[in-house]
Amino acid sequence: MAHRILIVDDDQIFNNLLADVFRQAGYEVSCVFSAAQAREMLAGGGFHLVVTDNRMPTENGTQLVRHITREHKNLHVVMVSGYLSNDDIRQLIRDGVGGVFIKPLNIFQLLKRAAQLLEHREETPKEKTQDKETRSENPAQKLKSFAGAGSSMAQKFARQILSLRSFSSNLIVSGQAGSDFKAICEDLAEGPGETLFILDPADLDKPDVLASRLGGLAGNGRAGRLTIAFQQLEQIDAKRAEAIFSIARVRPPFDNIGQGTRFIFCLKENLDQMFDAGRIDENLYLFMGTMELKLPSLDELREDLPGIARAILEQRQPSCRLDEEGAALLASMNWPGDMAQLCKVLADAAAFCGGQSIGADLLRDARDGLLSNPVLEPEASSGGLREHLVRCRDSYVKAMSIILDGDATAAQLALEIGKESLQRILASGQDQP
């Protein structure tokens, strides 16, 4: 059965042109000339893809997109418009649009993107009973990033990653400092024949050496797709950007790669602000495109924090366990350093837990930097040693408070610890030798 496509455009000539193109490609096509007509048609069901204009009378395409993502969650949408700002395009992608194309239109790219979206749809169950089974599964568990998460936000994010694995050219991944960009890139490049290179901008300074590394893939007979990821975009100047363009256009010395190449650009800052400040090359800015995946922060995934923390410990410190009080504390804490901060806190706490459960007190100390991360022999990592180190620490904190005449604020600043931890230590029992 052919896929059904709905074309929405008040320009009858352009509407008919798109309809002819999709029919020639083997699709079943219906045409309407307003968002209101589109709503009526979609209410009857049976469509697999909507291709809509933005500027239309009464109700524009952006409003229609929001209606579709709210009322027809499994329906793919592509926007075709004469003009959209970069902010408009990024917001449309955040709203769930599968592709944005600016007129004059590249018909071949439109057909290619439509095929990718519909191919992905074929991989999802169509029957209601299968849909229920799919909803009962947690797609986040299929990914390295945010393993252990299960909230609706985490699952929505996981579905975005799974749907974006087929992206063909450039993808922007934006998140705050400390986000685990490496795991995200690995998830995006997962699949048969996929190869991921996470490069430092300095690698672009030696194009011949880099070409040899990348070309080795073809020499080893590895077919498939090459994904190249960068993180420090502000370090990619015009010269380095030219090397990226040479890779993308298979120009010497990169003409021996022999396979499709796509790019992931990881951002910890606002791209437009970086460009306005002159911190990113103009040609690279345009080359990066507008397809964006925005990562949720750990502060937005509070209910997932216990599960994420347990998954990290299981992978890195399998002998340590997180108790319920510790799990509750993690969910209540703020994480300005995101995943990098969480991993450090867990590593520091695990180094002092002596193979026992990690509780709230230990996590507070780790968060406030009151624990070092010693290199201990396995037999030396015991509860007795930890208790001794904790007593030493508490004695030092109390001595500092006495030296500062009991000025808690001054002590807190001098020791660089949290107010809550300081008060807890000062209120504890008498020092022990």
- The 10s digit of each residue's pLDDT in 77-124 is 999 988 788 778 878 887 778 888 888 777 778 888 888 888 765 544
β-sheet bridge partners, residue 50: 6, 77
Q: What's the pLDDT score for residue 224? A: 66
Helix (H) / strand (E) element for 77: namely strand 76-81
Q: What's the pLDDT score for residue 356? A: 77
The domains found in the chain, sorted by start residue, are: 4-128 (3.40.50.2300), 144-294 (3.40.50.300), 303-426 (no CATH)
Q: What's the pLDDT score for residue 208? A: 92
Query: How far apart are the C-alpha atoms of 354 and 372, rounded to whole Å?
Result: 14
Helix (H) / strand (E) element for 262: namely strand 260-267
Paired tokens of 42: 């979609």
Query: Exposure pattern of 358-379 as b/e (b: 16+ CB <10 Å)?
Result: bbbebbbbbbbebbeeeeeeee
Query: How far apart are the C-alpha atoms of 97 and 86, rounded to whole Å?
Result: 14
Q: Between the CA atoms of 380, 384, 390 and 393, what dihedral angle is there, to the nearest 10 degrees?
A: -70
Helices and strands in the chain: count of H runs, count of E runs: 19, 12
Triad 118, 124, 129: Cα angle to 5°? 140
pTM for the whole structure: 0.59
pLDDT tens-digit series, residues 386-415: 566 667 777 777 777 777 777 777 777 777
Query: How far apart are the C-alpha atoms of 317 and 111, rounded to whole Å?
Result: 48
Residue 345, SS3? helix
Low-confidence ranges of the chain (pLDDT < 70): 1-2, 120-136, 216-224, 258-260, 289-290, 372-390, 416, 429-433
Q: What's the pLDDT score for residue 387? A: 65
- Residue closest to 41 by CA, chosen among 5, 70, 74: 5
Q: Region of 58 please: left (phi>0), alpha (psi -120 to 50) or beta.
A: left
The answer for residues whose C-beta is within 8 angstroms of residue 418's C-beta and 6 or more apart is: 364, 367, 368, 412
